[in-house]
Amino acid sequence: MAFILLWISLTILTRLSNASLDSSGGSVYKVPQQFSSSRMIWWHPYYSLKEYQSFQDAKIYALDVPVYTSEMILSFHYQGMYLHSHKPCNNSIIVLFQHGSPAIPYRDEIHTDGWLYNNTDHYETTVSLRHVQDENISSPLPGKWYVTVFLPYVEKVKKIKEKGLSKADEKCLSALSIVQVLRSPLKPPVVLAKGQPWNTNANLSVSTTTYYKYFISSYSKELRIKLKNFCSAQHNCSLKLSLSASSLPTHSSLSCMAPCERNVSWPQSQSYYYIEVSGTSQSYEITANHTECLLNTPGCTEITPMFALDRKILENSWQYYLFNSTNMFSLKLDPDYVGTTLTFLLWPFHDKTRATYKMCITRDLLPYDFVESDEFSKKHCSEKSDGVLRMAVLYPQSGTWYIVVTIEPHDPFSSSNFIFHAKTQTCLNDCNKHGSCVIKSDIGVSYGLCECDYGYSGFTCSDHHSLDILAVCLLTISNIAFIPGIIVACSRRFYPEAVVYLFNMYCSTVYHACDSHGYCIYDYNTLQLSDFYASVLSVWFTLVTMIKMRSLWHRTLNVVAVLSLSIGVHLARF
């Protein structure tokens, strides 16, 4: 097996190197001179890739993206073959990748008792066997990017056959190679100071691109970027200004043609805004400024900061707040919480309170301009008139989370108190009592997932498969068919044969309970070997009994069978 893994590794790395490395055998792709490039190969072997039924069947990888990156190219190469026959297996796999937290397969199918927040949009691609799949991401956000790899589940009818009669190709030896190429501008961005103009001269004959960055230090009401183009009438000058938060601007970013002014309401705090100025001009001037929300600043709403949650392994963290009016909260979430479930709850302090209460959540973005938008409300908000309003975020991204709570009493002359509750959980809904919550830390952060009981699947073990349970029960209970044979053997005084049949019934029952239902009283290989050995021994005892010969020869052949089959079955199985 080690030789096969080494052969696959060398094959993939050789093909990838021949396809993408330059003639010098160097470490970069050939790119234009205005960009620098770095190349990293992430080689990830793993065993027994299984079809996705719960999140434990997926494999997660973590990639780092530095600041000021203009493009990220990911190349995926997948190899898979069966352990015994060396034939290809699993024609394709699905790869999800997103920034900040691991992407969850089939997120829309997760069942929960509250409203589930889709915190980010992920990228998805299908990687075919022995084919290189390239994915380009323009201006990726800096920080951790997580890659989730899984084999899609396919509904099929499984044939039940005796284990051990042949070597089944069930172990699929799989490996995935990830090549990450990062490109960034050669010149570093110019840092703009608050309110101070920056003047520069440009070449009219060549279209140039210059990057600037401006830091928003605190809670602010507005960001203003002004661009003045100084160009004489006889020259054809064209300057474009593009603006983006945390990453370099793209084609879909905010933009305008100079001379112009671009305003951003409620910009992200504690983050850089990157500004791109491209085109031709004799000279231009750019100025950045922002209005901070200080004490009693008109138009600024007070934000109640929540204390940082203190996470402990296998324990939950929570906070309570009591209030009676519309309010906004902010919660600073550290990267340690990426693998948890962040839950917000809101409910009236008194059961008889009559009011409609609404909760909206965003990350790193103040929601003032979007709360009234229907499109924003569908994605970020939920409301209720009675009971507990619950909103959950699976694997939340680190940063500042803002929670806007709006209360509309049915009686305008009455006042009511509400309780706002924020907490983290290792697993959502405690796996719905149909699985166990485990913690993994193979990607640099600890994340919780559910190991579902047999008959249940899904991220929270909420999908019930009653037909599978019925099939397993029938398979296990069918061993009572041995009882008539045992009774006949005892009535005719074939006591050794009756003991062998009873032993076969016991081994078959406990083996199928372990193989299908997960209830294993012994080691799985021991149960499988015992079941096969008992089956072969029962056939031998039956054949010897049917032959007419002296009882001495019966006993001798049976003893020979017990001794020889114990060794033969072991050699045949392993």
Residue 383 belongs to domain with CATH number: 2.60.120.20
Q: How confident is the model at residue 470 (pLDDT cuts 50, 70, 90)?
A: low
The reply to whether 445 falls in a domain is no
Q: What is the pLDDT of residue 466?
A: 55
What is the structure's pLDDT at 289?
A: 94
Report whether the peptide linkage leading into residue 152 is cis, meaning its omega lies within 30 degrees of zero.
no
**What pLDDT score was predicted for residue 142?**
93
| 147 and 87 both lie in a single domain | yes
256 and 171 housed in the same domain: no
Contact (Cβ atoms closer than 8 angstroms) between residue 294 and residue 273: no
- The answer to whether residue 102 scores a pLDDT higher than 80 is yes
Report the alpha-carbon distance of residue 83 to residue 515 in Å, rounded. Answer: 20
Among candidate residues 239, 269, 282, 274, the one with its CA nearest the CA of residue 253: 274
141 lies in a domain?
Answer: yes
Same domain, 250 and 327: no
Residue 24 belongs to some domain of the structure: no
Task: Assess whether 74 and 129 both reside in one domain.
Answer: yes
Q: Which residues of 183-213 are buried (b: 16+ CB within 10 A; e: fewer)?
A: bbbeeebeebeeeeebeeebeeeeeeebbbb
Cα gap 198→17, rounded to integer Å: 45
Q: Which of 400, 425, 450 is the last residue of a domain?
A: 425
Q: Please tell me the distance from the alpha carbon of residue 268 to that of residue 189, in angstroms, as a whole number.
A: 19
Instruction: State the total domains in the chain.
Output: 4
Whether residues 526 and 411 share a domain: the answer is no
Whether 218 is covered by a domain: the verdict is: yes
pLDDT higher than 60, residue 421: yes
**CA nearest to 512, candidates 531, 529, 496:** 531
Clarify whether residues 310 and 370 are in a common domain.
Answer: yes
Last residue of a domain, one of 271, 292, 313: 292
The CATH number of the domain holding residue 239 is 2.60.120.380
Q: Give domain status of residue 329, yes or no.
A: yes
What pLDDT was estimated at residue 294?
A: 80
- The CA radius of gyration of the chain, in Å to the nearest whole number, is 33
Whether the per-residue pLDDT at 353 is higher than 60: the answer is yes
CA distance 403 to 330: 6
Q: Which candidate, 308, 306, 309, 304, places its Cα nearest to that of 425?
A: 309
**Residues 40 and 148 grouped into a single domain:** yes
Question: Which of 401, 425, 449 is where one domain is finished?
Answer: 425
Give per-residue pLDDT as tens, 174-185: 778 888 989 999
Same domain? 69 vs 176: yes
pLDDT at 34 over 90: no
At 503-521, the pLDDT tens digits run 888 888 888 777 666 667 7
Asked if 60 and 194 sit in the same domain, the reply is no
In this structure, the answer to whether residues 273 and 309 fall within a common structural domain is no
Q: Are residues 334 and 415 in the same domain?
A: yes
pLDDT beyond 90 at 212: yes
Residue 9 in domain: no
Buried b (16+ CB within 10 A) or exposed e, 407-443: bebeeeeeebebebebbbbbbbbebbebbebeeeeeb
Q: Which domain holds residue 130?
A: 34-154+167-184
Residue 245 has pLDDT above 50, yes or no: yes
pLDDT at 140: 93
The answer to whether residue 7 sits within a structural domain is: no
Which residues, in sequence order, are CB contacts of 116 under 8 Å at separation 6+?
A: 107, 110, 391, 392, 394
Of all helices (H) and strands (E), which one includes residue 543? helix 524-546
Between 15 and 474, the more confident residue is 474
Find the helix or strand (DSSP H, E) in which 536 lies.
helix 524-546
| pLDDT over 50 at 17, yes or no | no
In this model, does residue 401 exceed pLDDT 70? yes
Residue 313's pLDDT is 45
The pLDDT tens digits of the residues spanning 354-398 come to 888 888 888 888 877 666 677 777 788 888 888 889 888 888 888
Categorize the per-residue pLDDT at 41 as very low, low, confident or very high, splitting at 50, 70 and 90.
low
Question: Is residue 5 predicted with pLDDT exceeding 50?
Answer: no
Residue 214 inside a domain? The answer is: yes
52 with 116, same domain: the answer is: yes
CATH code for position 50: 2.60.120
